[in-house]
Structure 1
Amino acid sequence: MENEPRGLLISPIRDGTVIDHISAGAALTVLRMLDITGQTDEELSIATNVTSMTSGHEGKKDIVKVSNRELSKEEVDRIALISPHATINIIRDYIVVEKKGVEIPKFLSGIIRCTNAGCITNDNEPIKSAFEVTEEGLHCLYCDTVITTNPENHII
């Protein structure tokens, strides 16, 4: 392994956001949650199932780099739902000027839709969805539906 070539998998970005330590295989879900598609203007770099050495523990992770865009708090909250160990790095002139972990908020408003088709928030009413984050999942404050978590404790 010591003769194994080392190099950058993804080139650096001048300005924008790097989302690191995304749960392996979740990068495309993160892009969907950020409304980034192949038909939007963002320049993207994506690496999936990259070897990660975190605290001496080897595992896999995804990385997303988005040029010329800094994420809003609501967008970071969405990422926390699918990848609670992700880190957000703000890049300006090729330098990391801010690095922070994501935190799952106690309440979410207008970020995701209720899965109950009969919920008032899905009935063309001018009402934003509202959820309380619990250990069981997301509890809709309007209809009491609970959106459960998958085995890795990520909201689905």
Structure 2
Amino acid sequence: MPKKELSVSAIKNGTVIDHIPATHLFKVISILGLDKSENQITFGTNLKSKLQGRKAIIKVAKKYFADEDINKISLVAPHAKLNIIKDYNVVEKKTVEIPENIIGIAKCFNPKCITNNENMVTKFALVEKEPIALKCQYCEKITNEEHLEVL
């Protein structure tokens, strides 16, 4: 039997975010505010993945996320999986879902939109999940996957 090897060490209590596209690791860290967190955070990138080829993983000790917080990463990591860890055991598994309203996460692609010319929070309504299409609540233009820029 082949020896199992952990690329990233286990945590006792907290959240593991798996199946993040390797190229989006630092965006996920930023979106979740983990770059300002006091919690112990372990991450790995360019790990082997049967589904994605290469993936990233984040382990956050002693932290559990509200669904609305974790769903923010769905724009950059639509297939991310969450494992809730208690006493080194997975007690719950969750998948991210794109929220119906996206607030302050994405940039409107329309250069004339007020959100690109004034200091204000962007607001979008989800029009389509795959491929993603977001309707700006201010200028009503549709931002699609090709033009999607996460703030």
| TM class by smaller structure | 0.7 to 0.9
| Counterpart pick for 2:47 among 33, 46, 50 | 50
| Counterpart pick for 1:119 among 103, 107, 114 | 114
* Preserved CA contact (<8 Å) 1:90 1:96: yes
C-alpha separation between the residues in 1 aligned to 2:7 and 2:23?
A: 16
C-alpha separation between the residues in 1 aligned to 2:25 and 2:118?
A: 30
Give percent identity, aligned residues only: 34
Corresponding residue number in structure 2 for 1:10: 8
C-alpha separation between the residues in 1 aligned to 2:106 and 2:57?
A: 26
* Preserved CA contact (<8 Å) 2:124 2:137: yes
What do the CA deviations read for 1:88-140 (whole angstroms, capped 9, x no partner)? 111111111100222223x1143425435743697467x77242242452111
Change (3 A) 1:113 1:80: closer
Matched pairs, number: 146
* Preserved CA contact (<8 Å) 2:115 2:122: no
Equivalent residues in 2 for 1:6-85, closer than 5 Å: 6-37=4-35, 39-54=36-51, 59-85=53-79
C-alpha separation between the residues in 2 aligned to 1:108 and 1:29?
A: 19
- The one-letter code of the counterpart of 1:44 is I
Change (3 A) 1:98 1:113: same
The answer on 1:142 being equivalent to 2:138 is: yes
Change (3 A) 1:26 1:109: closer
Corresponding residue number in structure 1 for 2:103: 110
Give, in angstroms, the shift of residue 24 of structure 1: 2.1
Q: Which runs of 5+ in 2 are unaligned?
A: none
C-alpha separation between the residues in 1 aligned to 2:40 and 2:92?
A: 20
Corresponding residue number in structure 1 for 2:82: 88
* Structure with the larger helix share: 2
**1:138 match: secondary structure:** strand
C-alpha separation between the residues in 1 aligned to 2:64 and 2:104?
A: 17
* Preserved CA contact (<8 Å) 1:44 1:66: yes
Change (3 A) 1:138 1:78: same
